Amino acid sequence: MITRRTFVTAAAAAAALGPHARAADPVKAAWVYIGPIGDHGWTYAHDQGRLDVEKAFGDKVKTTYVENVAEGPDAERVIRRLAQEGNQIIFTTSFGYMNPTLKVAQRTPDTVFEHATGYKTHSNMSAYNSRFYEGRAVCGTIAGHMSETGVGGYIASFPIPEVVMGINAFQLSAQKVNPDFRTRVIWVNTWYDPAKEADAAKALIDQGVDIITQHTDSPAALQAAEQRGLMAFGQAWDMTSFAPKAHLTAIKDNWGPYYVDRVQAMIDGTWASQSTWWGMTEGAVEITPYNERVPANVVAAAEAVKAEILADTNSVFAGPILDQSGAERVPSGTKLDDGALLTMDWYVAGVQS
Amino acid sequence: MRLELIRRAEPSRGMRWAAPLIAVALTLVTGAAVFSALGYDGPAAVREIFLTPLLSPLIWQDLGIKAAPLILIATGLSVGFRAGVWNIGAEGQYVLGGLGATAVALATWGSEGPWMLPLMILAGIAGGMAWAAVPAALRVRLGVNEILTSLMLSYVAIQLLNYLMRGPWQDPAGFSFPETRLFTADQLLPILPGTDYVHAGVAVAFGLAVVLWVVMARTVFGLSIRVVGEAPRAARHAGFDAKRTVWAAMLLSGGFAGLAGALEAAGPFGQMVPQFPTGYGFTAIIVAFLGRLHPIGIVLAGLILAVSYVGGEIAQSSLGLPAAAAGIFQAMMLFTLLGVDVLVRYRVRLTRSEAA
Amino acid sequence: MTEAIAIAILMTVIGAATPILLAALGELVVEKAGVLNLGVEGMMLVGAVSGFAAMALTASPLAAVLAAMAAGTLAALLFGVLTLTLTANQVATGLALTIFGIGLSALVGEGFVGRTVDVRPPPFPAPLAEGAWSRLLFGHDALVYVSLVMTAAVWLFLTRTRAGLILRAVGESDLSAHSIGYPVIAVRYGAVAFGGAMAGLAGSYYSTVLTPMWAEELTAGRGWIALALVVFAAWRPWRLLLGAYLFGAVMTLELHAKAAGVSLLAPEFLAAMPYLATVLVLALISLRRGPGAQAPACLGRPFKPAH
């Protein structure tokens, strides 16, 4: 059965039936990656999570991975073979693996699957993702304080809800600090093309942007900001080494806690299909150390936003929120819930997309 | 001392069979040496890449699925290459094939009936042929080099795919992700009986290779293709129309690539996604030459490439060999296979430099 | 649009055009000699990783440039041995070379991921590039000027020197060139090596100037654009220069328009434009000058003397 992502664990009833490992043998866990583990971004972050599992369980677990797996039939084959090789839990870490994972899951009831960033689940297939928008809110707060031109640049990949809510979170938080703040968005229609990302950053800078963030995978935009003496944020991992002056902070994808939790569930025999959306509270989204050029009052403001999010993740999207046409989308006193976030296809006022 | 190549009067029959074996042996030895030099267990890596996929019947199914589009596209291309028609835009024709099938699938979405799948496949073939017709027309009418036009059109096809995925053909219930809906049961290829997950397109690919073998060897069409390619002047005297051969070769290779695209879309993909083109159209060119433009050779070459892909993945998960190392191994194998072909047509002789 | 923005846009256009111009100049000479090397992308990648590695290890821009050119040349010579000496098919070998280049560069580059290098300053004294317009003249990386000089040099070589004449003869009719006594294979080796050096240089522009870092498949398909550019320019060096800046403009103007809040055509259409334009140009040349007037006659065919 395919369900939309719900945020209450729905399949708790299946828990007792869930497959689990025998106590003596190590649990075999496998990861499927879209890029090389050396991409210093998305795949690298997932592989660090795999290493956290090795660290946490030692010889109680045996991990393996396959990198550079194309989405589609190639992914299906790799996932299937990893199941045939006796892996009991398989993490597939790209949106395009959703349908291939589901296909294999339906045919392989004795193996459990965990798919990242998708919306389909099955009795032996979970969906998981992180609340990256929480990090965007912190970055937006810093941008609101530090931008002198009052215009931030946002290099975006594809207008899927995850990217759209990130842009909105950035703009909403920045305009809380500076009501005149604007976010200029460039869609590059790719997840990875360093030269194009760098050119997009330069184009934004030439139009008066002095602080840049990106929802693409390379540090090229940071480097462009560094070369022009401006500011930017890291993506997926601490990218300070690429831009020591421009890099204010980064949103770190910390997959380790989730992976450890799931493998622990396999060992305990309590694994159940679920949809999970962890954030800062669970340690899945982290803000890396601030650059020393960020003044103390701005650090304090950023930390205050963090504390607010830790208390209530949906505080980022508290009303009143206007959309681009000026119409009120979220009235004062209410907040957007997760369901609305996960289908978000509109931009808040102040976003120039 | 230096190496000298002496052209043989006749291509060597013995070498025709021995050359690929020499190449494989060379690749295994150099591969093991290179992997060892990189700090991995060289012999084990070569064993995992080359032998393990051949030993497991479960993996044979994967090999068939992976090789099918390569064989299908390469078989079609080989006809053109034999006639001296250089269609290297099969990647674009493959994409158009997939788009043709998808267009039908989306237009008929929600209806049922056994007529849908044949219609999708026909639309796919038509799409591939239409995309190949452009370079064919430019070559016949204006004398434009088809190598370059067909290559350029491949990139146009990929952008067309991206456009359709991002906008008009996007799944309305797919949260704005750039991909189409899933095809329905009647729009999917059946699984071959006796297998776990091998789709019917695999049988089509292997079957068509045999059919084309017979056609090339036994029909006037096959003869005309070979004569036009090998002796254009004689072909003109014999009354074979060179222009018609160009059209036939381009449309046939485009049609085969389009068919491959339709079968992949209706088979393992089961929907259309921006990641649909994975370079099969380009890899198939290598497969065609490795198979010496002969349908049976192409089947073997397609399977060898499938082994190197699947084996590369196995070596990753079992030995931790990086994907890049498997890629280098594959390229080395292609280089040696392409290089040893010289032995079929030339003899190698060591001579003293004064004598040369 | 203000003057400052116009100049800024031109600076990005030149930056985007320079590497494809460098790679295309090399491929132009290769194709003029009658050889089609589709491995430009692979040679660019080995050049990119070698240039970055040399820069990271020695901090010497000269070492980076030399390493990139040497790596590109070596990759090209591999292609040369297979296609020229062993007469393997050029199209298939070129494609295999790209697979090789992607894998090799990824493996060599493993240890350099996550690092960056200092970008070398423009070759002219800094005060020269201070004004807005003088920045446009004097504010570029050295390779920008190298690419301009090389355009003139390739043009001079092909049209004004005996060696260039021989190279073109080899590309137009290898058998006649051979019968007159020109060393067809040696000439082609020279052209292929030059093409490799230029592709390597182009790759290093990405890894040491535009985005000073190494990551797998850093060039993201620019090698194929360079191949299109050669055809688009109808194998003429000055048109190549013009075409490169035109392609560069197409690749970056869309970004500037979006940054300014203007929506141009569908981005996919703009991305397809260089390729569509190339097909169109090929057709137009043939219409004007008759069939077969454009490409070197022996392009892609192996040289098989009858002796």
| pLDDT (average), residues C217-238 | 92
Degrees, nearest 5: CA angle B140-C38-C110: 155
Q: Average of pLDDT values for C131-153?
A: 93
Q: What is the pLDDT of residues B244-270, one digit of tens each?
A: 889 999 999 999 999 999 999 999 999
**Minimum distance, in Å, between the CA of residue B241 and any CA atom of chain A:** 42
Give me the residues of C, 15-74, that contact B with CB < 8 A: 36, 38
Poorest-pLDDT segment among A91-95, B18-22, C294-298? C294-298
**β-strands B346-351, B2-7: how paired?**
antiparallel
Q: Do B138 and C283 touch (CB under 8 A)?
A: yes
Q: What is the rounded distance in angstroms from the CA atom of residue B4 to the CA atom of residue B19?
A: 18
A138 part of contact set with chain C, CB < 8 Å: no
Q: Is C136 on the interface with A (CB under 8 A)?
A: no
In tens, the pLDDT along C12-27 reads 999 999 999 999 999 9
Mean pLDDT value of segment C198-223? 94
Instruction: Show the 3-state SS of B288-356.
Output: HHHCCCCHHHHHHHHHHHHHHHHHHHHHHHHHCCCHHHHHHHHHHHHHHHHHHCHHHHEEEEEECHHHC
Interchain CB distance below 8 Å, C213 and A223:
yes
Q: Are A235 and A216 contacting, i.e. CB atoms less than 8 angstroms apart?
A: yes
Going by C-alpha positions, the residue among A279, B289, B261, B256 that lies closest to residue C92 is B289
C117 or A18, higher pLDDT: C117
State which of A269-273, C133-137, C270-274 shows the largest mean pLDDT.
A269-273
Interface probe with A: pick from B58, B175, B271, most Cβ of A within 10 Å: B175
C294 vs C282: CA distance, rounded Å: 8
Label the pairing between strands A61-66 and A112-116.
unpaired
By DSSP bridging, strand B346-351 and strand A328-330 are: unpaired
Residues 6+ away with beta carbon under 8 Å from A246: A222, A225, A226, A229, A230, A231, A232
- Mean pLDDT, residues B145-155: 90
Taking residues B66-93, report their average pLDDT.
95
Report in angstroms the alpha-carbon separations of C222 from B251, B272, C42. 29, 26, 10
Structure tokens at A201: 């950053």
* Residue indicated by tokens 């929802």: A215
Residue B204 has pLDDT above 90, yes or no: yes
Is the CB of residue A152 less than 8 Å from the CB of residue A170? yes
If you ran DSSP here, which 8-state letter would residue A322 be given?
Answer: E
pLDDT at C291: 54
Tell if the CB–CB gap between B269 and A72 is shorter than 8 Å. yes
Smallest CA–CA distance, residue C307 to chain B, in Å, is 8
pLDDT for position C72: 98
Tokens of C7: 């100049």
Residues 6+ apart with CB under 8 A from C164: C156, C157, C158
Phi-psi region of B49 (alpha: psi -120 to 50; beta: other; left: phi over 0): alpha
3-state helix, strand, coil in chain A (%, to 5): 40, 20, 35
| Residue B58 in contact with partner chain A when CB distance is under 8 A | yes
At A40 the pLDDT is 82
Establish, for the pair of chains A and C, how many residue pairs have beta carbons separated by less than 8 Å: 102
- Per CB-CB distance under 8 Å, the chain B contacts of C217 are none
Least confident of B50-54, B276-280, C219-223, C265-269: C265-269
Q: Does the beta-carbon distance from C78 to B328 stay under 8 Å?
A: no
- Check whether the bond before A320 is cis (ω within 30° of 0): yes
The pairing of strands A247-253 and A285-287 is: antiparallel
pLDDT digits (tens, 9 = 90+) for B155-168: 999 999 999 998 89
B177-195 average pLDDT score: 93
Chain C residues in contact with A189 (beta carbon < 8 A): 267-268
**pLDDT-derived band at C246, boundaries 50, 70, 90:** very high
Closest Cα to residue C46, out of C172, C276, C200? C200
User: Could you tell me the mean pLDDT of each successive run of 10 residues in chain A, 353 residues long?
Assistant: 37 40 76 89 94 96 95 95 95 96 96 95 97 96 97 93 95 96 92 91 93 93 94 94 95 96 95 96 96 96 96 90 94 92 93 88
Q: Out of C5, C216, C267, whose CB is closest to A39?
A: C216
Closest CB from C210, C260, C267 relative to A198: C210
Q: Averaged over B159-183, what is the pLDDT?
A: 91
Instruction: Answer whether residue B237 shows pLDDT above 80.
Output: no
Asked if A206 reaches chain C (Cβ–Cβ under 8 Å), the answer is yes
- For chain B, the chains sharing at least 3 beta-carbon pairs closer than 8 angstroms are A, C
Q: Which residue has the higher pLDDT, B223 or B159?
A: B159
Q: From CA A217, how far away is CA A237, in angstroms rounded?
A: 10
Q: What is the pLDDT of residue B224?
A: 83
Over residues C210-231, the mean pLDDT reads 92
pLDDT band at C306 (very low <50, low <70, confident <90, very high): low
Q: Which residues of A touch B196 (CB under 8 A)?
A: 107
User: What does the pLDDT look like over C27-71, one tens digit per residue?
Assistant: 999 999 999 999 999 999 999 999 999 999 999 999 999 999 999
Helix, strand, coil proportions of chain B in percent (round to 5)?
70, 5, 25
Q: What is the pLDDT of residue A19?
A: 47
CB contact under 8 A, A76 and B66: no
Please count the CA atoms within 13 angstroms of the CA of B36 that sit on its side-chain side: 11
Token couple for C77: 């010579």
Return the ∠ at Cα C230 (arms to B230 and C213), rounded to 5°: 120
pLDDT of the residue at C258: 83
Q: What is the mean pLDDT of chain A?
A: 91
Distances from the Cα of C181 to the Cα of A180, C87, C170, C187, C199, angstroms: 76, 20, 11, 12, 30
Task: Determine what percent of chain C falls in helix, strand and coil, rounding each to the nearest 5.
Answer: 75, 0, 25
- Match 């590309």 to its residue by tokens: C171
Question: What is residue B5's predicted lDDT score, i.e. its pLDDT?
Answer: 75
Short-list C60, C106, C142, C71, CA closest to C215 = C106
Q: Do C75 and C196 contact (CB within 8 A), yes or no?
A: yes
pLDDT of residue A7: 34
Residue C116 to residue A199, Cβ atoms within 8 A: no
